[in-house]
Chain A
Amino acid sequence: MTIKFPDIDYAAIAPLLIMFGVAALGVLVEAFVPKRARHLTQLVLALAGLVAALVVLVTQAETRVVTAGGAIAVDGPALFLQGSIIVLAIMAVLLIGERSLEKGGPFVAQAAITVGSEDDRRQAARADGATEVYPLATFAIFGMMLFVSANDLLTMFIALEVLSLPLYLMCALARRRRLVSQEAALKYFMLGAYASAFFLFGVALVYGFTASVQAAPGRMAGGVDFATIHAAATQSPANRALLFGGLAMIAIGLLFKAAAAPFHVWTPDVYQGAPTAVTGFMAACTKVAAFGALLRVLYVAFDGARWDFTPVLGAIAILTMLVGAVLSVTQTDLKRLLAYSSIANAGYLLVGVLAGVREGISSTMFYLVAYGFTVIAAFAVVTLVRDADGEATHLSRWAGLGRRSPVFAGVFTFILLAFAGIPLTSGFISKFAVFGAALDGGQTWLVIAGVITSMVLAFPYLRVVVMMWLSEPGESTPTIAVPGALTAAALVIGVAATLVLGVAPAPLLNLSDTAGQFIR
């Protein structure tokens, strides 16, 4: 028996390979570079790798190819989403690398030291943070980029694990409030493993459904690549219950990562416990990856079952918007508030996904980018508001910040207005785009729910704005730290992008529109 190694278009997957290489190099740096030089080396290596991957990606902008034995599809949405993951990851890495706000950075030096022990107090005061976060972050970025371009369910599953595992680890590495951070990591890990099991079970059911169906004459019968699933959705003689059961479980796995209700319960705890830089990374990049994969699964593989899954996923979208909007009203912690807001935004993104027309793809992709920029900027501001115990995230502590530091309060107000979807911000344009696409696709019910929940969701944001500006600063009002160059860069990029995408969104809208075509 001879095995023919599949053709691999190395140029098309070069960005993926670069990220993998950078991550592997990062591990070697941990082993061989002296401790003192490690942080700078890792930071430069990660940023250089990301920029190199972005440059290579841009040169491949016209590539449309399915490669590596049908495992990877490099098409418009894949390239667009990979590009957005890289850009947002650059901002997140800038936040991760910040060391001027706190001595040693936001990460714990040695996570194995018992919390609260004498050694722990010593390392919290002066030890440099662990630099292993950089290879972990680059591995996660590699997984996310693979996730949005995976063309079969098994590759997608591996990518899901590759992106999740480093995130679980990074959640556990906060320098302050380490027990909360470890609890968050454990919770995320347990529930994430559970969701992955659902995904795998769904893959098995779908594989059973595709048996004896060939995607094209001469291809192997059966399989979990998207072309075969697409063919099976119309031709398979098997009972369609297998298809629906499989799709439902795959959707559970993906919606868990996207933080859609009722699979959202991990989100507030994990967002609160994780180091804020990692939270920003998760809120922006994981969301892009999860919705990119969801788009591909629904538009490429299960397109033939659209009429069957749209009502179910539509109900989930409405539930997500409602849960996110209503529960964010009751929050008293800023990181939890942003977590519930990210849940609500997952609902709006689902509205775009379910539009079922090409504008649905492009508007969802635009929304992902716009939201990513804004949410990283928001978490960047959260890292700045500090007192002696680290970040002061309780809402009451933010009262009166407008008097104390008008610039940062103004920036944060602008970010909150963008979340609320006020015109001249990217939040308005992106909501407008997904709702417009959903109307085109005939999903008026989703749009109605979206508009209503948007109005509810504006309340918690405006409450924070009012607290910041109209309250007197008290004794316990924390100071706003002067951001270091890295945080400042991330903040400026995020705010500028939010403004530019709100005022002149046409270039990115056009780009997402030309990219919004999957290949099978």
Chain B
Amino acid sequence: MTNIALAATVTTGEAVTFWILAPLALLGAIGMVVARNAVHSALWLVLTMLCLGVFYVVQAGPFIGMVQIIVYTGAIMMLFLFVLMLVGRDASDSLIETLRGQRVAAVLVGLGFAGLVGTLVARAVGDTTAVGLEAANQNGNVQGIAALLFTNYVFAFEATSALLITAAVGAMVLAHIHKPKSERLGQPETMRLRFRPGNYPAPKPGPGVYATSDSVATPGRLPDGTLTQRSVPEILPTRELSPRETAPKGTEK
């Protein structure tokens, strides 16, 4: 593992990578905050995280870089996207401010804070040469992290188990609804409910596919020719078609 970039100086390749990816990372971060749709926000964040992962690898931290990409971007963000999709696509932020002028103030203060931290770090490390990288990666990057985890930070490492247990218990407490056995429905009751008057026991019809429209929002036709709203998924907003959309498209001849 001695082929990890050991020198403290910045090579051309590193500089080029940085100047390509840094604006992208910034763009992703800004996009995440600005995007109205939660799914778009999450995707912007993925971009930033991927760029950061590459930065870590370039800066001789391959382990943390890979963890960033595999665990954060790969697992956690995808899980996040799954949740967003499950919750529903109309979960976009409302733009009504509960506190007047909050957004402007937040932008100003945020810019001020970024400027403060940016200049602080720039002034502090601008003319400093990095030290300690060779010593840290002496026996290999992963081995170095393992050595720290199982010596100096072994108690902290073990204490994280408390965090994991708490998280599991918390998820149970906040999300699980226990139904007593008496409230669970058996097979006969389920069947009776299914065939009770007023319920539609068969699978729902598929959406209509026509020459003029193949949208899932278009109702399908029943065998007798009537349209059925049953084929339109409930989460779709009802939408009035504009005159242009309902006008003949010249395909009827």
Binding site for B on A (CB under 8 A): 1, 3-6, 8, 13, 20, 23-24, 27, 30, 68-72, 110-113, 130, 132, 135-136, 139, 142-143, 146, 152, 154-155, 158-159, 161-162, 165-166, 168-169, 172-173, 201, 205, 208, 211-212, 221-223, 225, 238-239, 241-242, 245
User: For residue B150, which residues in chain A have a CB less than 8 angstroms away from its CB?
Assistant: 3, 5
Residue B159 interfacial (CB < 8 Å) = yes
27 CB < 8 A contacts A-B = A1-B147, A3-B146, A3-B150, A3-B151, A6-B151, A8-B155, A68-B154, A68-B155, A110-B178, A112-B177, A130-B173, A136-B166, A139-B165, A146-B159, A152-B153, A155-B156, A165-B167, A166-B166, A169-B166, A208-B124, A211-B130, A211-B131, A238-B124, A238-B125, A239-B123, A241-B124, A245-B117
| Alpha-carbon distance A241/B162, docked complex (angstroms) | 35
Inter-chain contact A71/B155, CB cutoff 8 Å: yes
Please give the distance in Å from A418's CB to the nearest CB on chain B.
Answer: 34
Inter-chain contact A169/B139, CB cutoff 8 Å: no
Known: A132-B173, A139-B165. A245 touches B154 (CB 8 A): no
Among residues of B, the one whose C-beta sits closest to the C-beta of A210 is B132
Residue B249 interfacial (CB < 8 Å) = no
B interface size (C-beta, 8 A): 39
Residue B169 interfacial (CB < 8 Å) = yes
1/0 per position for B121-160, CB-CB distance to A under 8 A? 1011100101110010001100100110011111110011
Inter-chain contact B153/A69, CB cutoff 8 Å: yes
Inter-chain contact A142/B156, CB cutoff 8 Å: no
Among residues of A, the one whose C-beta sits closest to the C-beta of B144 is A1
Given contacts A23-B165, A159-B159, 17 further A-B contacts (CB under 8 A): A1-B140, A110-B178, A112-B177, A113-B177, A132-B169, A139-B165, A142-B162, A152-B156, A155-B153, A155-B159, A169-B173, A201-B117, A212-B132, A223-B152, A238-B124, A239-B124, A241-B120
| Alpha-carbon distance A136/B171, docked complex (angstroms) | 12
| Alpha-carbon distance A201/B140, docked complex (angstroms) | 26
User: For residue A169, which residues in chain B have a CB less than 8 angstroms away from its CB?
Assistant: 166, 169-170, 173-174
Minimum-distance CB pairs A-B, first 3: A239-B124, A68-B155, A241-B124
Known: A155-B159, A211-B132, A238-B128. A112 touches B143 (CB 8 A): no
| Alpha-carbon distance A20/B161, docked complex (angstroms) | 10
Q: Give the residue of A71, A110, A172, A208 whose beta carbon is less than 8 angstroms from that of B125.
A: A208
| Alpha-carbon distance A172/B147, docked complex (angstroms) | 39
Residue B202 interfacial (CB < 8 Å) = no
Inter-chain contact A112/B174, CB cutoff 8 Å: yes
| Alpha-carbon distance A241/B116, docked complex (angstroms) | 11
Q: Give the residue of A24, A159, A208 whose beta carbon is less than 8 angstroms from that of B165.
A: A24
Please give the distance in Å from A46's CB to the nearest CB on chain B.
Answer: 14
Inter-chain contact A4/B151, CB cutoff 8 Å: yes
Please give the distance in Å from B178's CB to the nearest CB on chain A.
Answer: 6
| Alpha-carbon distance A23/B147, docked complex (angstroms) | 29
Inter-chain contact A71/B153, CB cutoff 8 Å: yes
Please give the distance in Å from B149's CB to the nearest CB on chain A.
Answer: 9
Inter-chain contact A155/B151, CB cutoff 8 Å: no
Q: Give the residue of A68, A70, A139, A159 whose beta carbon is less than 8 angstroms from that of B166.
A: A139
Residue B163 interfacial (CB < 8 Å) = yes
Inter-chain contact A143/B131, CB cutoff 8 Å: no
Q: List residues 193-223 of chain B with CB under 8 A from any CB of chain A.
A: none
| Alpha-carbon distance A437/B118, docked complex (angstroms) | 38
Known: A4-B151, A221-B132. A154 touches B156 (CB 8 A): yes
User: For residue B132, which residues in chain A have a CB less than 8 angstroms away from its CB?
Assistant: 211-212, 221-222
User: For residue A24, which residues in chain B have a CB less than 8 angstroms away from its CB?
Assistant: 165
User: For residue B172, which residues in chain A have a CB less than 8 angstroms away from its CB?
Assistant: 132
Inter-chain contact B166/A165, CB cutoff 8 Å: yes
Known: A143-B162, A241-B123. A221 touches B135 (CB 8 A): yes
